[in-house]
Structure 1
């Protein structure tokens, strides 16, 4: 075991999966992978992960009804907290909330942090086509800023129909992440709420490759400069899930810097073979020992101090 802290690791409580099955819902077109406590621990051991910060993937808990979403969020979060309590140091969790139900999300945020001691929140990149910079979500963002919260941002199904033959998880997820990051920057959330730490999934989508184009084109209807937009885009943290390749990882390190790149696997949705593929690419990547430890352990410890003693 290498002592890695994995900030992109999913759990699938059986009752939650049953609700998705009832409605024929999937995680962006992916069939439900097998998940259990024992399978999760075995995968962690196989991939050198000492601590997994688990979260529920897309489609989240709001399946069309506010009351159901509140009940399901409470169940999922208590399930995650109990998992963490049974395995101190092996599991933490990012709590799920009820967006677009903002009132419910505020209530669940308070419960998750104050009673369950969550490590942060997971927010989907878009909710019914509304991205995270939408003014409707401002009360939640203000509360998360007050709490100096860590927010893990996970892509979801793009608004509009999927392209024939291209399930959302293949390419759309990367665009969804990029869209919500641009939404947060254009709405000035990054500067209004500097105490929120956003972690973007999958290396930040297209941002490392397209940052200068994104920043330049954002100036077309703004009085801000390219440099302003680049600084805001570079302020995000990103995980390495499905990003540790010879083409993607150098771009993420170049644009965000090693101090903002955090280890992630995307298990079990990435599958054991998928996680093994990218974890092996990461192991083979030419990094000095200090940078490797920074990505695998220290950046997560800086954001999640409860794990500092465990990964000293």
Structure 2
């Protein structure tokens, strides 16, 4: 049976060409995105270990950072159609994809969810980032997206971005802090209680939350502590079985899913082998490892 990686990235080539037409050399500020594995499906395919499948989501080249609301909506629709086509043409390695949303155009984002995600055979959720347009993802303007996703029972993938108001951003620690703050914001806004069907898959094993679970328990309310445990998390921390065991201890075995952040993290093809080994080295049962590798994903999307 295949291992399913729930958090792997692509950069749809037609979408990239559209962005380059609007802003020539658009990747100048994103050198890590200059990776052929993001855009070339044949190379991407050859980089995958045997019996591995990936749920694909776009890298954080977000149209709302570059264009007006109408253009952003059109670009997201086009990119989503391209991701869906990548899935349909490569079902053996890409069983599903994740949609982009124009966060400078929330009405259009809600319509995209209705048109391209709800009931789709290819797009099984949406990706949100910890911030959009300099505002936290839990800003009031973005709440309708959470409500809509809860209503259709389809997951949100939560990915970090830098807070550009901070002067010392770095990839080692900043993204984990931003994820943690976004999780706190979702809990503080009581979204899990307001929208009981809400499902959020958090990148990087839930960031700081498992390590600081007892601070959460004793500083925050029992209700908030329980809400933190409602997140789903992936395994994308570049190894470290003991840290992954903390994630399982806090979120529960059924809320931890195999995810790698490929092709990023460990050149040249990503950290899949390292993270798979880390899961295999965890002090958990064989059945629990199988839950992480595949069964939890199937249950989440059943």
TM-score, normalised on structure 2? 0.88
1:177 aligns with 2:176: no
Residues 25 and 181 (structure 1), Cα distance of their counterparts in 2 relative to 1, 3 Å cut? farther
Point out which structure has higher relative CO (alpha carbons under 8 A, 6+ apart): 1
Q: Deviations over 1:238-283 (max 9, x none)?
A: 0011254133212101111111000011111224253333233223
What displacement does 1:24 show? 4.3
Deviation digits for residues 197-246 of structure 1 (CA, Å, limit 9, x no counterpart): 100001011111113324544x4xxxxx2x21110111100001125413
Match of 1:30 in 2: 32
Q: 1:44 touches 1:52 (CA, 8 Å); kept in 2?
A: no
CA distance in 1, matches of 2:225, 2:73: 37
C-alpha contact (below 8 Å) 2:238/2:271 kept by paired residues: no
| Alignment gaps of 5+ in structure 2 | none
CA RMSD for the aligned pairs? 2.2
Rate the CA distance shift 1:88–1:246 in 2: closer, same or farther, 3 A. closer
C-alpha contact (below 8 Å) 1:59/1:156 kept by paired residues: no
Spell out the pairing of 1:1-312 with structure 2 (5 A cutoff). Answer: 3-18=2-17, 19=19, 22-24=25-27, 26=29, 30-35=32-37, 36-46=40-50, 48-49=51-52, 51-64=53-66, 65-91=68-94, 92-114=96-118, 116-117=120-121, 118-163=123-168, 167=170, 169-214=171-216, 216-217=218-219, 219=220, 225=221, 227-242=222-237, 244-270=239-265, 271=267, 272-305=269-302
Task: Tell me the SS of whatever aligns to 1:207.
Answer: coil
Distance 1:31 1:84, change over 3 A: closer
Q: Residue 203 of structure 1 contacts residue 252 of structure 1 at CA under 8 Å; is this kept in 2? A: yes
SS at match of 2:59: coil
How far off its partner does 1:26 sit?
4.7
- For residues 63 and 129 of structure 1, the distance between their equivalents in structure 2, rounded to whole angstroms, comes to 10
C-alpha displacement of 1:134: 1.8
CA shift, 1:97, in A, is 0.6
- Confirm or deny: 8 A CA contact 1:60 1:124 kept in the other structure: no
Structure 1 gap ranges (5+): 220-224, 306-312
**C-alpha displacement at 1:34, in angstroms?**
1.9
Counterparts of 1:31 and 1:114 in 2: how far apart (Å)? 29
Query: Which segment drifts farther, 252-261 or 262-271?
Result: 262-271
Contact 2:233 2:257 in 1 (8 A): yes
Q: SS in structure 2 opposite 1:247?
A: helix
Partner SS, residue 184 of structure 2 = helix
